[in-house]
């Protein structure tokens, strides 16, 4: 092998895994602790919910990806969904989530955690309908916010007004559903924390422009997922501050994710969760996959 650069494991790696596992344990324990458990997309504006106090959030896409890392369980989920007449070409995240719900099985142990309500964001073909099925099956209330799509930079004021109107409506709906008022002060602080987490992840992602790249596509989902699962929480900001300093150090010392780096690729679309080893195969040829559209915008400043 043509070793061009030194390499070293990420010091922050285990911390990222611990935070992720803690998040899914919080989902398991929410009702036992008397806290809310909320369902919906990982992008469905978690800060809007924060005004009602501590809560756990079961984000559908990340949960579907977690199931996908266990091919045997994912197959059982797909079969459970197909057995109920749903097409096999529907969103795999959605089918994994539904399958886990239909089987009443949680991959971290025990039964599928039933949310108290759903706040969902509709921005692609399946998202709104995804949680209509969940609402009907589990008998829980749900609310959908429609995200305005279209060309970037066009009709921005109309888009913001459209979203703001729906945000106000969603908060009022949650107040009526829960029978209590939202604390605007707590919600605003949560929004600031969310913005800071996203900004920090954006800074970390930009550092991968360095040669050699300090991070690689196979490892980045473990780091990035915290900006998806818990970006409104202080623990997320604290972690990304630590990670940012570590990645800056790797850049300064020229510590590479792929020590044989001689070519660079970007990946388009969702990571192949059941076969992330494909990125290790590319490394055999000195190819560094330095990120993806998915990792850069989902949970990042672009969103």
Residue 3: helix, strand or coil by DSSP? coil
Whole-angstrom distance, CA of residue 194 vs CA of residue 203: 14
Beta bridge partners of 120: 144
Predicted local confidence at residue 42, as pLDDT: 87
Q: What is the CA radius of gyration of the chain?
A: 20
Count, residues in the chain: 303
Q: Are 13 and 219 in contact (CB under 8 A)?
A: yes
Evaluate whether 288 touches 261 at the Cβ level (below 8 Å): yes
What does pTM read for this prediction? 0.90
Beta strands in the chain (DSSP E): 6-7, 36-40, 55-59, 117-122, 142-146, 255-256, 263-267, 287-292
- The answer to whether residues 94 and 104 touch, using CB atoms and an 8 Å cutoff, is no
Q: How many CB atoms lie within 10 A of CB 33?
A: 9
**In the chain, which residues have pLDDT < 50?**
302-303
> Closest Cα partner for 108 from 37, 21, 39?
21
Q: In which residue are the tokens 């909320």 written? A: 38
pLDDT value at position 1?
57
| C-alpha–C-alpha distance, residues 265 and 277, integer Å | 16
Q: What per-residue confidence (pLDDT) applies to 125? A: 78
Q: Judging by beta carbons within 10 Å of its beta carbon (0-12, 13-18, 19+), is residue 3 exposed, middle or buried?
A: exposed
According to DSSP, the residues that pair with 7 across neighbouring strands are 256
Both structure tokens of 84 = 């109920």
**Pairwise CA distance, residues 193 & 197, whole Å:** 6
Q: Tell me, what's the pLDDT at 302?
A: 44
Strand partners, 121: 145
Question: CA 188 to CA 144: how far, in whole Å?
Answer: 21
Confidence at residue 303, expressed as pLDDT on a 0 to 100 scale: 42
């Amino acid at each position: 092998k043509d070793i061009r650069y030194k390499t070293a494991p990420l010091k922050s790696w285990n911390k990222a895994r611990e935070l992720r596992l803690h998040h899914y344990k919080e989902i398991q324990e929410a009702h036992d602790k008397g806290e809310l458990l909320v369902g919906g997309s990982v992008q469905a504006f978690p800060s809007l919910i924060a005004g009602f106090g501590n809560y756990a959030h079961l984000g559908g896409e990340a949960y579907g990806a977690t199931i996908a890392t266990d091919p045997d369980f994912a197959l059982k989920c797909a079969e459970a969904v197909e057995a109920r007449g749903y097409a096999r070409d529907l969103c795999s995240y959605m089918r994994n989530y539904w399958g886990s719900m239909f089987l009443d099985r949680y991959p971290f142990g025990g039964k599928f955690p039933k949310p108290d309500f759903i706040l969902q964001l509709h921005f692609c073909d399946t998202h709104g309908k995804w949680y209509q099925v969940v609402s009907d099956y589990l008998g829980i209330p749900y609310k959908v916010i429609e995200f305005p799509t279209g060309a970037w930079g066009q009709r921005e004021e109309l888009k913001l007004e459209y979203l703001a109107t729906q945000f106000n409506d969603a908060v009022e709906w949650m107040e009526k559903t829960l029978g209590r008022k939202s604390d605007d002060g707590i919600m605003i602080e949560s929004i600031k924390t969310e913005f800071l987490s996203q900004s920090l992840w954006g800074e970390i992602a930009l550092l991968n422009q360095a040669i050699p790249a300090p991070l690689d596509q196979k490892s980045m989902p473990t780091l990035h997922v915290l900006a998806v699962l818990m970006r409104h929480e202080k623990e997320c900001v604290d972690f990304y501050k630590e990670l940012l300093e570590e990645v800056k150090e790797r850049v300064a010392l020229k510590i590479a994710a792929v020590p044989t780096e001689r070519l660079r690729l970007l990946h388009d679309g969702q990571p192949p969760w059941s076969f992330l080893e494909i990125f290790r195969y590319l490394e055999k040829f000195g190819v560094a996959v330095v990120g993806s559209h998915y990792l850069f915008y989902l949970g990042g400043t672009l969103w």
